[in-house]
């Protein structure tokens, strides 16, 4: 049973205890059976109300449990989406790194080509 229900259940049990005490005290003080019947009927009515409240609490508990389950499923889906995004981010980072390396290689090759052209021009000038 969820812990958050304990205070509500304790309140219901306290109400039952209070009704029982009132009934016991009233029964001792009564001399007229009609008064006793009236008090007893009031007690039964109180028990019925308490029973209805317990039933309503059960329905709310069930509803809350379904809502929590739905939320947990949404959290799981979002967690999976975050994990997938992490994989794609890693893949993109590797692709960017590869492109950066390619750009560096192209710059190096271009510098070597310029150097070769300069050397060729120098060699032709020396001829």
Sketch the domain layout of the chain as residue ranges.
3-126
Q: How many CA atoms lie within 13 A of 22 on its CB side?
A: 15
Task: Quote the pTM value.
Answer: 0.50
Cα separation, 45 vs 24, in Å, equals 16
The model's pLDDT over 35-49, given as tens digits with 9 standing for 90+, comes to 777 888 888 888 898
The model's pLDDT over 58-113, given as tens digits with 9 standing for 90+, comes to 888 999 999 999 999 999 999 999 999 999 999 999 999 999 999 999 999 999 98
What's the DSSP call for residue 77?
Answer: H
In terms of Cα–Cα distance, which of 47, 41, 38 is closest to 18?
47
pLDDT at residue number 100: 94
Question: Residue 2: pLDDT above 60?
Answer: no
Token pair, residue 111, equals 């510098």
């Amino acid at each position: 049973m969820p812990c958050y229900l304990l205070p509500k259940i304790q309140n219901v049990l306290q109400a039952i205890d209070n009704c029982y005490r009132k009934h016991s005290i009233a029964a001792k003080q009564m001399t007229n059976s009609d008064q006793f019947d009236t008090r007893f009927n009031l007690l039964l009515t109180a028990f019925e109300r308490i029973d209805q409240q317990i039933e309503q609490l059960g329905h709310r508990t069930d509803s809350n449990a379904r809502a929590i389950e739905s939320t947990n499923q949404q959290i799981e889906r979002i967690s999976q989406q975050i994990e997938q995004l992490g994989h794609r981010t890693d893949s993109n980072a590797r692709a960017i790194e590869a492109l950066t390396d390619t750009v560096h290689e192209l710059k190096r090759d271009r510098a070597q080509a310029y150097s070769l052209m300069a050397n060729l021009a120098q060699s032709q000038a020396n001829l």
